[in-house]
Structure 1
Amino acid sequence: MSDMLGMNGDLVIRRFHLFGRCRAAAVFFSSMIETDQLQDHVLKPLMAELSEGADGESARGDGLIGLIWNRTVHIGQGVRTGNLAKLPNEIVQGRLALLIDGHEEALAFDIRRIEYRSIEQPQTEQVIRGAREGFVEKLEPNLTLLRSRLQTSELRIETAPVGTRSASVVAVCYLDGLTDAGLVEEVMRRLSLIGTDGIIDAGYIEQFIEDQPLSPFPQVQSTERPDKTAASLLEGRVALLVDGSPFALIVPALFNQFFQTIDDYSERFLMGSLIRLVRLIALFFSLFFPALYVSIISFNPELIPTEFAVAISGGRAGVPFPAAIEVLIMEVAMEVLREATIRMPQMIGGALSIVGVLVIGEAAVSAGLASPITVVIVALTTIGSFATPAYNAAIALRMLRFPLVLLAGLFGLYGVMVGSILICNHLLMLESFGVPYMSPFISGKARDLKDTLIRVPLWWMRKRPSFLHPENRVRVLPSLTQRSIDHLFEERGELYEDTADLDDPGHHGHR
């Protein structure tokens, strides 16, 4: 064991006499062991003298190993193994290995000391109306948070080590009888193909399992919120939790998920729909606004009203750069300032962003390097990118903004249209775990559009999304409000059918 574990300052090999009759040794890392449990529940009972009944029991059946396993050590979790080559892996994971002279079988007890930061509000996802608790770096409390929200026997959690050296534990979570079995098999298959030597964060897993690694758009959704993870599992998705990371990975991830938040469902449907439309407008601003400005100023100024064109031309007087170069310079400066703000200490980061924007913008206009209208355009674009809830999706929009500005500077509105068509074609070609990336819009089923651009009332979303192929489609039973609306339709003599139910021979269509 000393040779396999090597020279380590925190490696402890505690030799003692087991029950006063034979030699034994406890092997563990002192930095990962709970000292109180080691003293009270392992060493103390093992070093005590055997009673007459226990002495006779040790001579029968399972012998001394069985006596320790069944009666002496009061530890909830442990393993018995006859393969000494597996013991180093148990020890480096924080377990205590018990070796007994003259016995080929060894015992490993789980008395790890798990220290982690307290559960706090998620830092990357602001909570407006919802739970103020987020995942932490340890897997056990994260699973506790998830099980507390899904208190059902259908919740399945399968764990597997990933990484040839780190052996990081990855938990695959799904709802049995609801999630498509083929999706679960595909997730497990992709995890089994990961051959790297170490998994440090959940982002490593994301890069190995996504369908198109070269695409700027994320195909795996990450979140710090347990309530968002639970809601995704109830839709029929699969969540992955990695020991050592406070982020959960949700698959499959589609385009419409990245401008939606779990807070949308806590508000009434009118407010939630309005907020989503505002986010879509902000998404359009962050992607197309600079390119449209450059194309109109450079190639089609006749599209601007005369008074506005005169004001813009007056502001651009003296600017030495073309509109495309001017916008690119301001965009690069804004990206540098944004990155510096993120990396600076939190106490001075906010002040740097405000002062930096004001000073640089005013100085650029005063020096004649940029026009006031360009500063306004870049500011609106930056604010629009901040309105995108998903950080990785906002980065994708920021990346695509630069080639669109170049196309607009070279070809005008034709370049913007060509760039938009290329982006749309790329989105239509993408898939996430076999599900088309734009599924809600191309599935051809009206009921899948109830939770996309706008959100209909919860009692109206009776079925789960069909593109996830859930084994149980029914999500909401008809409520009192829905029954009253059904009664209103019947009184008017109008007939309506749920085509999704009629397509399924296992369900009866209703009127």
Structure 2
Amino acid sequence: MQDWKDKYASYIDKQQSSSTEQKPASGSRLTGELKTDLPELQARLGENGDLVVRDFLLFGAYPAAMLFFSSLVNMEQVREHVLKPLMAPPPGQSEVPEDTGGMIHYIWSTAVQVTQGTTTADLSALPQAAVKGDLILLIDGIPEALRMEMRQIEMRGVEQPQTEQVIRGPREGYVEKLENNLSLLRYRLQSTDFRIEISPLGERTQSRVALCYIDSVTDSSLVAEVMRRISLIHTDGILDAGYIEQFIEDQPLSPFPQVQSTERPDKTVAALLEGRVAILVDGSPFALIVPALFNQFFETVDDYTERFIMGSLIRIIRLIALACSLFFPALYVSVISYNPELLPTDFAVAISGGRAGVPFPAVLEVLIMEVSMEVLREATIRLPQMIGGALSIVGVLVIGQAAVGAGLASPITVVIVALTTIGSFATPAYNAAIALRMLRFPLILLAGMFGLYGVMIGTILILNHLLYLESFGVPYMSPYIPGKWRDLKDTLVRVPLWWMRRRPSFLHVRDTDRLPRSVPTAEIDQILRQGDETDE
């Protein structure tokens, strides 16, 4: 085996000589001569440390060669299920056909133990098949190659989602292997209407992208639009689902996400049942759900696995925490700087006493504390898990207390920033929480310049932007604007499941009914009839 110095020297020599050599034709076909086709295929693949070329006698009589990448297949399975039967004599007294079609059929039906494969006479298609994990079998005298799918890559097993905590529900999360992720969806959605479209994407990575939807539910125009946007992607590589998200979203400059990502198969199936489309990428443990609306980022699957009273209460608490994380620091700055008369006298005196030794104005003080908290939060995320927890405790207790003792911040400011940070943690979607954290800073600056008027101006600008946004043709603030009782049953509160009989109208689904019109209980049947009347 060559060392790296020899490899470097040979690489330089090849680079210098390749400039004068002519590249092989892109559309050449197999000649049927092993001594010609095999070197040509090796030249197209180049020198690779994991490229295996195995010369042998097929059935002990016919010269043949097998080519594959050892890093993409299970070597033991290749030896036992492919090489061993191909090198053994024909079973019994059977004779091997000499013609091309008969030979390939005999190998496929009698010798190899592989589930999928195909034949091709196009030499230019074989390198791409090899890098995807196929075995390439070349036989002397036959101008066709047999491609056998034997790809096997070691992956981590199905585990609990890391970014979405499960309170009550399935504890299975996506992994990096696309087949495993699709099996988790098939396991939960055992319907003949479930469709999966798989195609490669990326000029160099050729990553497999799966488009999932329910044919009898999802609007065909939505599926066509998703396919159109994906087809317009032209890039070298797709390494994660986040790459596709940045290419297909409607407004890339908006801080609000217009594509929902999830690590949970049950959440994906729930979205598919509503009439949405899911996108999965081989190598990524996340699925993308479109269209994604503002209301989705503050809902969890746990809201539906719990009873509707508890689910509604938790959702209201979550929305209150959202409002606090966005507006609390700006309201504090505006009231302290411009309108202290709005506070009770005793409380205003206590705040002014705490700020007596602080040398900064309120707006600068809050900005310093907010930036410090964001730096601490980012450092906690990037550090190893065992160290991150200790750092967060030290940062909150020691640094906060030291800042108050040194007169750099008042105690009420530390409390406001702490409550704001806790409120941002209540947002289930990480990317939506980042959007709120980004908007908090311009609101604080507007509050420092114009007081409550600045907070009002910032709020109006945010609302106007939300009303302007769309996700795949659906208004981002649906179902609030335009409001419809049929869709408002699952917004600020969640009504009982038997009351949500129809799917969301803004998705323009083919099948609108979730529940049948006849139910076993008379009281529930009466409630559904009342819901039908209000829907109309």
TM-score (norm 2): 0.90
Amino acid at match of 1:468: L
Equivalence map 1:65-464=2 (5 Å): 65-464=104-503
Query: 1:59-108 CA deviation, whole Å, 9 max, x = no partner?
Result: 46822122222332120011211111111111111111111112221111
Q: Which moved more, 1:17-26 or 1:137-146?
A: 17-26
SS in 1 for 2:479: helix
Alignment check: 8 A CA contact 2:203 2:235 kept: yes
Query: 1:290-315 CA deviation, whole Å, 9 max, x = no partner?
Result: 00000011011111111110010001
Alignment check: 8 A CA contact 2:74 2:150 kept: yes
Between the aligned partners of 1:366 and 1:222, the Cα distance in structure 2 is 43
Amino acid at match of 1:158: E
Between the aligned partners of 1:123 and 1:190, the Cα distance in structure 2 is 29
Amino acid at match of 2:179: E
SS in 2 for 1:151: coil
Q: Give 1:455 deviation, angstroms.
A: 0.3
Give the alignment partner of residue 21 of structure 1, picking from 58, 61, 64.
61
Give the alignment partner of residue 512 of structure 2, picking from 467, 473, 480.
473
Alignment check: 8 A CA contact 1:273 1:454 kept: yes
Aligned residues: 496
Give the alignment partner of residue 55 of structure 1, picking from 88, 95, 100.
95
Alignment check: 8 A CA contact 1:163 1:198 kept: yes
Change in 2 beyond 3 A, CA 1:9/1:276: same
Amino acid at match of 1:429: Y
Instruction: Show the counterpart of 2:47.
Output: 7
1:43 and 2:78 aligned: no
Equivalent pairs: percent with the same residue? 71
Runs of 4+ in 1 over 4 A off after TM superposition: 51-54, 478-482, 485-490
Alignment check: 8 A CA contact 2:424 2:433 kept: yes
Query: 1:370-414 CA deviation, whole Å, 9 max, x = no partner?
Result: 000000000000000000000000000000000000000001111
Q: Give 1:22 deviation, angstroms.
A: 2.0
Between the aligned partners of 2:424 and 2:104, the Cα distance in structure 1 is 63
Change in 2 beyond 3 A, CA 1:11/1:272: same
Between the aligned partners of 1:488 and 1:323, the Cα distance in structure 2 is 53
Between the aligned partners of 1:280 and 1:398, the Cα distance in structure 2 is 15
Alignment check: 8 A CA contact 2:519 2:525 kept: no
Alignment check: 8 A CA contact 2:518 2:525 kept: no
Q: Give 1:477 deviation, angstroms.
A: 2.3
TM-score (norm 1): 0.94
Amino acid at match of 1:12: V
Between the aligned partners of 2:309 and 2:381, the Cα distance in structure 1 is 34
SS in 1 for 2:95: helix
Alignment check: 8 A CA contact 1:459 1:478 kept: no
Query: 1:460-497 CA deviation, whole Å, 9 max, x = no partner?
Result: 0000001111100000225657631554899xxxx775
Q: Give 1:51 deviation, angstroms.
A: 5.2
Structure 1: state its 5+ residue gaps.
Answer: 503-511
Amino acid at match of 2:271: S
Q: Give 1:118 deviation, angstroms.
A: 1.4
1:498 and 2:497 aligned: no
SS in 2 for 1:27: strand
Between the aligned partners of 2:49 and 2:293, the Cα distance in structure 1 is 48
Alignment check: 8 A CA contact 1:460 1:482 kept: no
Structure 2: state its 5+ residue gaps.
Answer: 1-40
Instruction: Show the counterpart of 1:31.
Output: 71
Q: Give 1:36 deviation, angstroms.
A: 2.3
SS in 2 for 1:215: coil
